[in-house]
Structure 1
Amino acid sequence: MHETAVKRAIDILKDNGYKYTDKREGMLLLFANENRYLTAKDVQSGLKESFPNLSYDTIYRNLYTFVEVNVLEETELNGEKMFRFACVHEGHHHHFICTICGNTKEIHMCPMNFFEEQLTGCEIESHRFEIFGKCEKCSLL
């Protein structure tokens, strides 16, 4: 499954005019294997053995490229950008995100019905709903 996600991501990058590089594949493999939100620092730590000279500029440039072509999705926690593979699941859903380990859980309900009732006459173009807290594992620490 991880290889499929990485191959699909590389194909998306190529379709959008971006060249294949070992660093990009390494970053994508890291995200596929971790399957959680990661910071740029997490990426650098995870790849330092394979790419000891990988700069934050290169990491950030690629992270934002991945977001631009919908390979990764981003969120922000305590002023820091975090990234993970974009969901490929069918159907609309939202996420619970652990503030300690970055693991996520899907939430299969949407609170927008409540908000739409509060916003009579408004046209909602998009929304994102995330809940932050400690997962079962981290709340035991």
Structure 2
Amino acid sequence: MNTNKALQILKENGYKHTKQREVLLDLLETHDQYVSVKQLWSSFKEEFPGASYDTAYRNLYKMAELEILESTILDGEKHFRFHCETHGHHHHFICTECGKTTPINMCPMDNVKENLPNHEIENHKFEVYGHCPTCK
């Protein structure tokens, strides 16, 4: 995912191309990791000093709903990153120090399904947290 593709998805879903949305997306594009709203906000407010924190937050949540962004919670705070475009189903290891992610190319759902007979699973998310080699 990148800024141009994200703006196209927003347009296809009836959202206008605004400079604020473009700047948020550009900020995310410069990070290959999860970034907190506070981190994004500190850069965003430099360009838009009159914009509210809620404006940035609402835009990030809307983009997550449209699957432009992925979100997770680290240290009790919501973090966002561009939706991963690797091919096929996968999950992530997330560094709790720097937010960097590494794909995990296996899924524990087969074991889970065996333990939930007669249940219909609609979706799932599997994340592993720890420290990457750089932060270790």
Name the TM tier (shorter chain): over 0.9
- State whether structure 2 residue 87 is matched by structure 1 residue 86: no
Match of 1:118 among 112, 115, 122: 115
Deviation at 1:77, TM superposition (A): 2.0
Q: State the alpha-carbon separation in 2 of the partners of residues 130 and 121 from structure 1.
A: 25
CA offset digits 1:21-79 (Å, max 9, x no partner): 11111110111111211111011122233223332111111001111211111111232
Read off the aligned partner of 1:11 and give its amino acid letter: Q
**Structure 1 counterpart SS, 2:50:** coil
Higher relative contact order (CA 8 A, sep 6+): 2
Mark the runs of 5 or more structure 2 residues left unpaired by the alignment: none
The match for 1:77 among 68, 74, 79 is 74
Question: Match for 1:18 among 15, 38, 53?
Answer: 15
Q: Please say if 1:132 is aligned against 2:136.
A: no
Provide, for residues 85-129 of structure 1, a one-character-per-residue CA deviation record: whole Å limited to 9, x for no partner.
111221000000111111100000001111111112222111110
SS at match of 2:30: helix
Task: Please identify, of 70-79 and 84-93, the stretch whose mean Cα deviation from structure 2 is larger.
Answer: 70-79
Corresponding residue for 1:61? 58
Give the aligned partner of residue 40 of structure 2: 43
* Segment of structure 1 superposing worse, 4-13 or 23-32: 4-13
Structure having the higher helix fraction is 1
Q: What is the root-mean-square deviation in Å for CA atoms of aligned residues?
A: 1.4
Unpaired segments ≥5 residues, structure 1: none
Between 69-78 and 56-65, the greater mean CA deviation after superposition = 69-78
Report SS of the residue matched to 1:91. Answer: coil
4+ runs deviating over 6 angstroms: none
Shift of 1:5: 1.2
Matched, 1:99 2:96: yes
| Seq. identity, % | 51
- The one-letter amino acid paired with 1:87 is C
